[in-house]
């Protein structure tokens, strides 16, 4: 016989799992014929409704779910354990996998961080992830990063029912298009930062230092790691025959690949320009160091004149010239002043000072 305490413990654990799932869910809807069915749905009830109707699909949206939450969702939708582990862990590279009738895709999201000037910013590009599990009658999206919201995209799709009528693959295409559009907006904003940096690098007494250029290079590398792999994934998705991705969706993905190629070309151009600007910055730093060394050397030469004379007359030999001369002290000071003045004018004329 099972005790009441054990029943209560099991029930409490189930309640905890349900609470964790509910806290991670940002949207759960059933779409039939492209139209959203009214009412609030749990993921289990939504999937049961779709399979009972044998029509439509479920779109479940999760935000940074816990391990227990993903296990519960995976059990309901039959998701692959390895893909589920990747969805929980985040910080994934873009990838595309097929698991038992399910497509698992990871896309990197980016956001341009607002700042007063690229010369003082600590971060310019912020990244996140959107992961999508696509099955015959469901799509589960998992987001990491507060900037990767799909709420507006969901509302946009619901305004065009004929797109949702295509099925879960239409949602996958819409997410990919949304991510590529964000790449375009980020590269446009980044271009403004690079123009600002370029103008400052070649300006007199520019405030740009090599450390800031390295930060810009780091940000463009981070952007490149998000953009470049996605092109390979889109080509693989378009080139793979699958009932989950019909021909019209694959055709739309090919068009999306062309837009992504434009972004990739921009990122490559930014990287090359930043490399050139970095070399220019380092050259300016080296030139400044050379100028500083010339100034230091010039002043050291000027200071050597009084040092030499004072050192000679400080040896206190008994028989030294001018020691008995009444104006010897003033004569030595005059020689020091004239020697320093001649050296100073010479260095000034040769632009060492």
What is the rounded CA–CA span in Å between residue 148 and residue 350?
60
**Architecture field, domain 290-349:** Up-down Bundle (1.20)
Helix (H) or strand (E) holding 253: helix 247-313
What is the rounded CA–CA span in Å between residue 328 and residue 38?
108
Q: What is the widest separation between alpha-carbon atoms in the chain? A: 123
Supply the pTM of this predicted model: 0.76
Q: Which two tokens stand for residue 269?
A: 């151009």
CA 94 to chain centre: 14
Give pLDDT < 70 ranges for the chain: 1-20, 90, 206-207, 319, 321-324
Q: Is the dihedral of CA 266, 267, 272, 278 positive or negative?
A: positive
Average pLDDT over all residues of the chain: 84
The reported pLDDT for the residue numbered 8 is 43
The reported pLDDT for the residue numbered 20 is 61
CATH code matching the domain that covers 4-191+203-286, chosen among 2.60.120.40, 3.40.50.1370, 3.30.460.20, 3.30.465.10: 3.30.460.20
The answer to whether the CB of 196 falls within 8 A of the CB of 121 is: no
The reported pLDDT for the residue numbered 286 is 81
What is the rounded CA–CA span in Å between residue 115 and residue 193?
10
Tell which residue, 230, 208, 228, has the closest CA to residue 281. 208
Per-domain residue ranges of the chain: 4-191+203-286, 290-349
The reported pLDDT for the residue numbered 13 is 53
The reported pLDDT for the residue numbered 207 is 67
Residues with Cβ within 8 Å of 235's Cβ and at least 6 positions away in sequence, in order, are 257
What is the rounded CA–CA span in Å between residue 305 and residue 338?
10
CA 70 to chain centre: 26
What is the rounded CA–CA span in Å between residue 46 and residue 259?
35
Q: What number of helices (H) and strands (E) belong to the chain?
A: 10, 7
Using DSSP's 3-state secondary structure scheme, residue 110 falls into strand
Give bridge partners of residue 97 from the DSSP assignment. Answer: 104
The answer to whether the CB of 101 falls within 8 A of the CB of 122 is: no
The reported pLDDT for the residue numbered 19 is 67
């Amino acid at each position: 016989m099972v005790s009441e305490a054990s029943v209560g413990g099991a029930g409490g654990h189930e309640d905890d799992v349900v609470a964790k799932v509910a806290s991670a869910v940002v949207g759960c809807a059933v779409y039939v014929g492209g139209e959203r069915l009214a009412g609030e749905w749990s993921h289990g009830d939504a999937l049961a409704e779709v399979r009972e109707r044998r029509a439509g699909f479920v779109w479940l949206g999760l935000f940074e779910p816990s391990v227990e939450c993903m296990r519960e969702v995976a059990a309901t939708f039959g998701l692959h354990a390895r893909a589920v582990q990747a969805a929980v862990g985040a910080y994934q590279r873009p990838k595309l996998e097929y698991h038992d009738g399910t497509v698992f895709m990871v896309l990197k999201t980016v956001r341009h961080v607002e700042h007063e000037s690229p010369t003082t910013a600590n971060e310019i590009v912020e990244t996140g992830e959107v992961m999508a599990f696509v099955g015959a009658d469901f799509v589960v999206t998992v987001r990491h990063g507060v900037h990767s919201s799909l709420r507006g995209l969901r509302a946009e799709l619901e305004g065009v029912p004929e797109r949702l009528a295509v099925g879960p693959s239409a949602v996958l295409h819409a997410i990919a298009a949304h991510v590529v559009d964000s790449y375009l907006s980020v590269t446009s904003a980044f271009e403004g930062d690079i123009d600002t940096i370029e103008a400052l690098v070649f300006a007199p007494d520019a405030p740009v230092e090599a450390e800031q250029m390295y930060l810009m290079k780091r940000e463009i590398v981070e952007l490149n790691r998000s953009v470049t792999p996605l092109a390979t994934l889109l080509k693989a998705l378009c080139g793979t025959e699958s009932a989950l991705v019909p021909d019209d969706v694959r055709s739309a993905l090919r068009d999306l690949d062309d837009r992504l190629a434009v972004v990739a070309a921009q990122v490559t151009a930014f990287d090359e320009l930043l490399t050139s600007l970095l070399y220019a910055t380092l050259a300016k730093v080296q030139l400044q160091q050379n100028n500083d060394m010339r100034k230091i050397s010039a002043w050291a030469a000027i200071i050597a004149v009084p040092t030499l004379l004072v050192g000679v007359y400080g040896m206190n030999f008994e028989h030294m010239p001018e020691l008995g001369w009444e104006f010897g002290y003033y004569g030595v000071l005059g020689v020091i002043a004239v020697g320093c003045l001649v050296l100073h004018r010479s260095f000034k004329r040769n632009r060492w000072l």
